[in-house]
Structure 1
Amino acid sequence: MPDIPDIETDLIVFDGECVLCSGFFQFMLRHDRGQRFSFATAQSPLGQLLYSRLNLPTDEYETNLVIIDGKVHQRLDAFAAAMRVLPGAWPVLSLCRFLPELVKNPLYRAIAGNRYALFGRYKTCLVPDPALRSRFASDGF
């Protein structure tokens, strides 16, 4: 496991310019009623550090990161991990983690590789308002 900084809360790191990724963030914000997760954009200093330490590109974000209890999840497993801890019926979506790697990874890469063409891209990274800012991990961790 790569050396990643200690994060005190569970964390979701997402591409703040990607409409699909930002939609995932908005979904999690709405359904994470217990406020279990903090958030960071991949473009933030914390996001850049995590991607770098995980040997992931720091200019094209091929995956969101979901960190739960110190364990880093990537690609479709990140989505599954996030769904697994939500209340209500959402955990059923975490069953996608049982798809064979032969199916799961190409499916994820096909969507992730075309996400800007399919869903769009914001010209600037998300800037949270003061109320939302409290849910974002600080760059000092």
Structure 2
Amino acid sequence: MQNIENKYIIFFDGDCGVCNFWVQWILTRDKKDQFMFASLQSEFGQKFLGERNLNQKEFNTLYLWKNGSYYLIKSKAILKVLSLLGGMYKIGGFVGNLIPAAFTDKIYDMISKNRMKLSNQKCFLPTKAEREKFIEI
């Protein structure tokens, strides 16, 4: 496992096909090697939630965290990821941030509520290099 000190950690529902698709999508575009991933169900994920008094039994929210800095949730986390990826994705993050969070989070919640129906639940097997980006795989 890599050092997490200077990485952005994406906490996701490890049992969700949509979330796993999103993780795979980021992995293939993370050319700057700035992201690591942790399932909310993992010990590390549970510790993150517990330390912030967040619900440790519901996994319908994506979190983006930078050690000692901040964390973002839902659509704001996704838009920040897009901005950090750079290039044309940064434009998407910028445009998305022009839309009020109440609206983008409503869309996020709608997708999250139906994520198990939307996903095809195919098994994702990361490569050895990709496994290095996961905390507690």
Is the 8 Å Cα contact of residues 76 and 97 (structure 1) preserved in structure 2? Answer: no
Give 1:129 deviation, angstroms: 5.0
In the TM superposition, residue 85 of structure 1 has moved relative to its aligned partner by 0.7
**1:103 shift after superposition:** 1.3
Q: How far 1:120 sits from its partner (Å)? A: 4.3
Could you state the TM-score of these two structures normalised by the residue count of structure 2?
0.81
Task: Write out aligned runs for 1:1-141 (5 A).
Answer: 7-8=4-5, 9-68=7-66, 70-94=69-93, 95-121=95-121, 128=126, 130-137=128-135
Aligned pair count? 131
- 1: distance between equivalents of 2:126 and 2:118? 24
Per-residue Cα deviation, 1:75-127 (whole angstroms, up to 9, x for no partner):
000100100111321111213133223312222111111111222446x8x67
The percent identity for this pair of structures is: 27
In structure 1, the gaps of 5 or more residues are 1-6
Stretches (4+) displaced over 3 A: 126-131
1:138: Cα distance to partner?
5.3
- Alignment CA distance shift 1:26-1:76 (3 Å): same
> How far apart, CA to CA, are the structure 1 residues paired with 2:90 and 2:36?
19
Q: CA deviation at 1:49?
A: 1.2
Change (3 A) 1:117 1:24: same
CA-to-aligned-CA distance 1:8-42 (integer Å, 9 cap, x gap): 12111111111111111001100001111111111
Unpaired runs of at least 5, structure 2: none
Q: CA deviation at 1:128?
A: 4.6
Structural RMSD (CA) = 2.3
TM-score normalised according to structure 1 size: 0.79
Deviation larger for 18-27 or 46-55:
46-55
2:85 alignment partner, SS class = coil
Provide the rounded CA distance (Å) in 2 between the counterparts of 1:105 and 1:27. 20
